[in-house]
Amino acid sequence: MVNPPDMEELVDLHQATLYRFALGLTGSVHHAADLTQQTFLLWATKGHQLRDGTKARSWLFTTLHREFLRMRRHEVRHPHTDLETAEMELPPEEPEVWSRLDGRTVVEALHAVEEPFRPPLLLFYLEELPYREIAEALEVPVGTIMSRISRGKTLLRQHLRDAMSEHGSDPKILRLPPNDALRRQDPMA
Amino acid sequence: MTLPGARLVVSAATTADLANPSQELAAALEFLKNHRDDWTAWQQEQQRDQAIARTFGTVGPPPGLRDQILAAQGAQHRPQARRRFLLAWAAGLALVAGAGIATRWMPGKSDALAALRDGSLAAAASHFLDREWDHVFDHTAGTLDDLRQFLEREGEPGALDPGDGFDRLSTLGCRRFSWKGQVAVLVCFRTAGDGTIVHVISVPRAAVGPEAREDLDLFREGRWHAASWTRGGRAYVALSSQPLDPGHWSRTRLPDGGVPTQRT
């Protein structure tokens, strides 16, 4: 059994990926920083209960996601979104376009993906966890996670394509949605 | 395995899965290889996913978040640390029956500021923050006023008056040390907006000597961006991992009427 790492080591290892996860969930730099900090604070008070240090990363992602859901519950009621059958739409690709994406565009597009698909999709693109651990971290069955990742990727691609067709094929000229639209999407705004 | 099933498994496979494929994933990959169009399409999807993940990976946390997390964590741990200390102290007394152990834990006995009594306040503060501080506060509070009240109760009135601009910043907490035989007070502020942590150390002006200047003086101290000034009977040094922009500091009127100068 591996002992859990100390706080400073844990922060150095995971703060960037946790922040990206939080940023994708909330779409807000400030909420993302708060959620990241809150997650580490919870680790400081409860992390010692974790006997196996190898589970620290999953614990952090689970906790951040729970905190996000807890905060959001106080703010907004979301309409239920039925899961659609996972599908794999594979229109012709334009690799040179995808390779010119910028960070802001990607974060905005990820944040625009609907709620049930967004958390697993974010963890997929963080490239830290296998899908079984993503399922564990989000406390969702593996089969559901696979469907959500697959469907989420399709939705993300649609969002990116819509943005590109709206503003031309150069992602650098993509613009943020109007502020009020962002606020509507931001469950904690 | 069916074609839709294989598509689903490979589409959900993360980089970590592909580096160490499960039996299910290996079977799905083998299955898909026999369906040329789907295999090509998945390879294209992989390229796109890699581009998105690479771009997503360039998004970093705001400056100062690490310091903020560690500072807040230290503040939260303070009560637990105090309880642990008391237990250890009581156990030590029972076992050793000596009072000497207790004095070892008295505040201010082993801190870096005391050890650097011949150095400048900024150098001592930098050394302390880099090597000695365990992010434990004597008192945690969100406003300067609350910290002032705590210090007054503890017999340190007037220890915190760095400038009106600071009253508008939130605080994390404070901690006291001895420096050149005087009480030094460290306060951690969080700036509005980007949340940068600014550590401010306050000592009696007499302890600083000729280096004390009334005007705001900006300089580098080790890895820190630093500023110093005096106000009333106290000298102050501020350290931050982020540049202390004179414009920003002026907007916060730090210190009142102070004109920043840049030390080269």
Whether A93 and B14 lie within 8 Å, measured CB to CB: no
Put simply, the chain B residues between 23 and 52 with a CB less than 8 A from any chain A CB are 38, 41, 44-45, 47-49, 51-52
- Inform me whether the C-beta atom of residue A121 falls under 8 Å from chain B C-beta atoms: no
Q: Average model confidence (pLDDT) for chain B?
A: 74
Check residue A89 and give its pLDDT: 39
Residue A4's identity, in one-letter code, is P
Alpha carbon distance B203, B159 (integer Å)? 7
pLDDT band at residue B160 under the 50/70/90 scheme: confident
Q: What is the pLDDT of residues A135-162, one digit of tens each?
A: 999 998 988 899 899 999 999 988 888 7
The string of DSSP codes covering chain A is -PPPPPHHHHHHHHHHHHHHHHHHHH--HHHHHHHHHHHHHHHHHHGGG---GGGHHHHHHHHHHHHHHHHHHTT-PPPP-PPPPP----PPP-HHHHTT--HHHHHHHHHHS-TTTHHHHHHHHHT-S-HHHHHHHHT--HHHHHHHHHHHHHHHHHHHHHHHHHH-S-GGG--PPPHHHHHHH-TT-
Q: Are the C-beta atoms of residues A148 and A118 closer than 8 Å to each other?
A: no
Q: What are phi and psi of B190, to 5 degrees?
A: -120, 125
Instruction: Test B61 with A19 for CB contact under 8 angstroms.
Output: yes
CB distance B9 to B24 below 8 Å? yes
The predicted model scores a pTM of: 0.52
pLDDT tens profile B189-247 = 887 766 678 889 998 888 877 666 777 778 888 878 888 888 888 888 888 887 776 55
Q: How does strand B197-204 pair with strand B217-221?
A: unpaired
Inter-chain CB proximity B55 and A102 less than 8 Å: yes
The closest CB to that of A36, out of B48, B49, B65, belongs to B65
More confident site: B119 or B71: B71
Closest CB from B14, B69, B77 relative to A11:
B69
pLDDT at A90 over 70: no
Helix (H) or strand (E) holding B186: strand B182-190
Q: What is the pLDDT of residue A120?
A: 95
Residue A117: pLDDT band with limits 50, 70, 90:
very high
pLDDT at residue A137, rounded to an integer: 92
**A116 C-beta neighbours (distance < 10 Å), count:** 20
pLDDT, greater one: A89 or B179: B179
Q: What digits encode the pLDDT tens for the residues B10-62? A: 999 998 898 888 999 999 999 999 999 999 999 988 888 988 998 888 888 88
Query: Which ipTM value was assigned to this complex?
Result: 0.75
